[in-house]
């Protein structure tokens, strides 16, 4: 009889300790130093999907919270997010992370709300970290004041992981899920799933559930069956 | 009383453990992390930044939190309260800026945003583009209410208007620590007023603003189209001016050019002194970079400063962003800042600019700006309405790309390189003698290199 997985969530995964930096060590070092630096900071990280932007934003939220500082993570692609009013009062927090910020470009109410938040955070020594797939200078903000402020952020490009680093990251992710991922299976996933960490981790999540239901190990034939490769 | 979720010994950490197990990581980071727990007696108060967070937590987590509280040992009849609020951040800004003197009991105690004490006249790098604005601001800071009232500073984004405004406020407070100075962004003025109306506290709002010693309002273009706010601001403006209190305003354009602003306001803005801040020339940009680096105790070679300033011309804010990035790279890699190091640190930014600034892109942008067709720029026509934009486009191509004069001539309908040279000289001459041409050229330069 198949086992029904319990609706229990994973413990928090997106931490600095589980981030495989690859060529992004400078970005990681900068973010690790944010808590210690009490001054206002505006940062923008950009890179292709799966390069680790959301991971870093959430890791910083967790790390700030662990140090007793208040933080929030707002993914702009989340359809469940209410209107721009959700940005009200965030200047009272120590750290604000806004993911997929390009989503609000051209949406007047959101742009004004982000502009106001930027101004308030700056005067209250808060930290604003934004992430997008492109750098601020090419995002089509309709409010010039917001565009210029975004362009004045410290901008970092996240480089996607090379094959070796991606393999390490994949195994790290599996280990966080309590899964044993043999080398042969990891290589198989790397060869057959789209080569970015979002896609790889998404596949791993599917495999996690399937393996629990069928009580099977992550062998290559099992992976092939589940992912229908 | 326990104020910090990280050190709270009992109830809240237990609740967060249960919530972590129940919510997705994203939900936890969005809705639970911003909560600040305060335990007092048997009441757990959760402070949220706004009502949206409260609504979400109430809808999705309140039952679970209540259940956890009930199951906690010795918690007795513990209850949870959700409200909008915050433990105050003990920040460098707060310690730098004492709050405004207390007002009456019904009035807000703090108006606007704190002044940034790092924005001083000493830190403001002066150049041809901003010296008049700086001189006027110094006068206003040392002689508020009398020198120029109102002082209206206008110019493009990121050129230092806000810096000057804060510097004025800082000087006024240094000379008279009991002065009631409020720095506020016009958006915030509008939202404070709306809140005052909603909560029936508009008279307190009026009194608060009309009894200041100095009111510094940033970006007044955001008043455009907001009639009720303009009406209120008009009366505040009059009251302050009558009492010889200082008003400083900034805007992204000349007051008469703000569409949606009442004529009576536009006219009053011109009663004092209106000064412009222009984009900095190359030498001023270099001086700004050197000054910012020195303030951070960073050794910035002059050739690096020139390199950055030559490539980033749109505004000072972006210039500073690039410098901060270079300094951060140097700090975290332990390498000294050299020209090659800077090129590596900014490589994606520079690559992007080179991609954007092509002759073709310049032609399209110039044609769009002057509302003519690209084909006109390439054709043989020699009417002034076409010749002038063509000369400007050629001059921009020379300045912003690495193409040679013959290559540029080729790209403009097969013209000779001497035609390009003549165009560059002509634009330089006209820029010095005709303000309009200088403005057009500066606008296009900003658009293309921004």
Mean pLDDT, residues A11-16 taken together: 71
Mean pLDDT, residues A72-92 taken together: 91
Task: Please give the pLDDT value at position B103.
Answer: 37
Residue of B178, B247, B173, B252 whose CA lies nearest to B217:
B247
Q: Lay out the sheet containing B181-185: strands in order across.
A: B181-185, B214-218, B246-251, B151-155, B273-277
Contacts of A78 (CB under 8 A, 6+ apart): B26, B30
Task: Please give the pLDDT value at position B143.
Answer: 95
SS3 B261: coil
Structure token digits, residue A113: 């709300």
Any idea which of A3-12, A146-155, A179-188 has the lowest mean pLDDT? A3-12
Task: Please give the pLDDT value at position B89.
Answer: 55
As a whole number of angstroms, the distance between CA A175 and CA A108 comes to 43
* Cβ atoms within 10 Å of A28's Cβ, excluding its own: 20
As a whole number of angstroms, the distance between CA A134 and CA A117 comes to 21
Task: Please give the pLDDT value at position A3.
Answer: 54
Contacts of B82 (CB under 8 A, 6+ apart): B45, B46, B48, B54, B57, B58, B62
Contacts of residue A74 in chain B, CB cutoff 8 Å? 30
Task: Please give the pLDDT value at position A78.
Answer: 85
Q: Across chain A, where does the E strand assignment appear?
A: 41-46, 71-75, 95-99, 127-132, 154-157
As a whole number of angstroms, the distance between CA A106 and CA A68 comes to 35
Q: Are A197 and A50 in contact (CB under 8 A)?
A: yes
DSSP code of residue A6: P
Structure token digits, residue B103: 């007002």
Would you state the torsion angle of the CA atoms of residues B280, B282, B288, B291, taken in this order, to the nearest 10 degrees?
-160
pLDDT under 50: residue ranges of chain B = 1-9, 90-110
Residue of A209, A217, A200, A206 whose CA lies nearest to A20:
A200
- C-alpha pair distances (Å), B264 with each of A106, B225, B269: 32, 14, 9
- Give the one of B50, B52, B317 whose C-beta lies nearest to A152's C-beta: B317
DSSP conformation letters of B36-47: EEEEETTEEEEE
Distance from CA of B305 to the nearest CA of A (A): 17
Distance from CA of B243 to the nearest CA of A (A): 29
- Give the one of A13, A25, A89 whose C-beta lies nearest to B25's C-beta: A13
Task: Please give the pLDDT value at position B50.
Answer: 94
Which pTM was predicted? 0.75
Residue range A14-24, pLDDT digits in tens: 889 888 888 89
- Give the one of B5, B315, B332 whose C-beta lies nearest to A30's C-beta: B332
DSSP code of residue B294: H
For residue B39, what are the β-bridge partners? B2, B44
0.90 surpassed by complex ipTM: no
Task: Please give the pLDDT value at position B1.
Answer: 40
- Find tokens 């680790």 and name the residue: A52
Contacts of residue A81 in chain B, CB cutoff 8 Å? 30
Percent of chain A at pLDDT exceeding 90 = 32
Task: Please give the pLDDT value at position B354.
Answer: 67
Res. A48: pLDDT tops 80: yes
Task: Please give the pLDDT value at position A8.
Answer: 43
Q: What is the 3-state secondary structure (H, E, C) of A105-121?
A: CCCHHHHHHHHHHHHHH
- Find tokens 């020339």 and name the residue: B281
* Helix B186-198 and helix B227-242, axial crossing angle in degrees, nearest 10: 100
Interface contacts (A, B; CB < 8 Å):
170
């Amino acid at each position: 009889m198949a086992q029904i997985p319990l609706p229990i969530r994973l413990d928090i995964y997106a931490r600095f300790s589980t981030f495989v930096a690859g060529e992004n060590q400078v970005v990681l070092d900068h973010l690790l130093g944010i808590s210690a630096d009490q001054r206002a900071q505006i940062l923008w990280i950009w890179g292709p999907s799966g390069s680790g932007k959301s991971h870093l934003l959430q890791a910083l939220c967790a790390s700030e919270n662990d140090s007793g500082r208040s933080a929030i993570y707002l993914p702009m692609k989340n359809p469940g997010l209410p209107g721009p009013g959700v940005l009200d009062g965030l200047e009272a927090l120590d750290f604000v992370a806004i993911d997929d910020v390009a989503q609000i470009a051209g949406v007047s109410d959101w742009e004004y709300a982000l502009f106001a938040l930027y101004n308030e955070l700056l005067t209250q020594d808060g930290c604003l970290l934004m992430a997008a797939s492109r750098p601020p200078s090419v995002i089509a903000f309709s409010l010039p004041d917001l565009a210029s402020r975004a362009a004045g952020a410290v901008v970092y490009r996240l480089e996607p992981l090379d094959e070796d680093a991606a393999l390490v990251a994949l195994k790290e992710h599996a280990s966080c899920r309590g899964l044993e991922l043999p080398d042969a299976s990891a290589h198989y996933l790397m060869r057959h799933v789209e080569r970015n960490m979002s896609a790889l981790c998404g596949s791993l999540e599917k495999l996690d559930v399937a393996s629990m239901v069928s009580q099977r190990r992550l062998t290559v034939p099992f992976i092939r069956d589940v992912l229908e490769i | 009383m326990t104020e910090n979720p990280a050190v709270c010994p009992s109830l809240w950490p237990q609740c967060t453990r249960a919530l972590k197990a129940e919510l997705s990581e994203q939900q936890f980071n969005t809705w639970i992390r911003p909560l600040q727990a305060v335990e007092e007696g048997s009441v757990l108060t959760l402070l949220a930044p706004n009502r949206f967070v409260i609504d979400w937590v109430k809808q999705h987590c309140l039952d679970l939190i209540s259940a956890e509280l009930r199951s906690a040992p010795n918690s007795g009849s513990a209850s949870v309260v959700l409200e909008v609020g915050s433990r105050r951040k003990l920040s460098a800004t707060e310690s730098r800026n004492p709050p405004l003197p207390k007002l009456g009991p019904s009035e807000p105690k703090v108006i606007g945003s704190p002044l940034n004490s790092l924005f001083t006249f000493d830190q403001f790098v002066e150049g041809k583009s901003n010296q008049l604005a700086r001189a006027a601001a110094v006068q206003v800071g040392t002689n508020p209410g009398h020198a120029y009232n109102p002082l209206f500073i206008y110019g493009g984004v990121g050129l230092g208007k806000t810096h000057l405004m804060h510097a004025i406020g800082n000087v006024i407070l240094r000379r008279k620590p009991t002065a009631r100075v409020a720095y506020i962004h016009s958006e915030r003025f509008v939202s404070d007023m709306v809140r005052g109306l909603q909560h029936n506290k508009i008279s307190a709002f009026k009194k608060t603003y009309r009894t200041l010693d100095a009111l510094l309002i940033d970006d007044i273009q955001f008043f455009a189209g907001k009639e009720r706010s303009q009406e209120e601001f008009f009366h505040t403006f009059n009251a302050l001016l009558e009492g010889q209190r200082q008003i400083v305003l900034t805007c992204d354009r000349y007051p008469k050019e703000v569409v949606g602003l009442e004529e009576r306001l536009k006219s009053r803005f011109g009663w004092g002194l209106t000064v412009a801040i222009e984009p900095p020339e190359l030498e001023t940009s270099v001086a700004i970079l050197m000054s910012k680096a020195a303030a951070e105790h960073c050794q910035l070679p002059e050739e690096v400063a020139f390199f950055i300033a030559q490539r980033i011309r749109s505004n000072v804010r972006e210039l500073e962003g690039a410098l901060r990035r270079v300094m951060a790279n140097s700090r975290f890699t332990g390498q000294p800042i050299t020209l090659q190091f800077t090129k590596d640190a900014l490589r994606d930014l520079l690559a992007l600019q080179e991609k954007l600034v092509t002759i073709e892109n310049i032609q399209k942008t110039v044609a769009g700006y002057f509302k003519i067709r690209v084909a006109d720029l390439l054709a043989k026509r020699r009417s002034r309405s076409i010749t002038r934009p063509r000369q400007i486009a050629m001059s921009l191509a020379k300045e912003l790309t690495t193409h040679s004069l013959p290559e540029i001539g080729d790209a403009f309908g097969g013209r000779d390189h001497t035609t390009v040279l003549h165009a560059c000289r002509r634009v330089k001459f006209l820029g010095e003698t005709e303000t309009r041409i200088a403005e057009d050229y500066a606008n296009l330069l900003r658009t293309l290199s921004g």
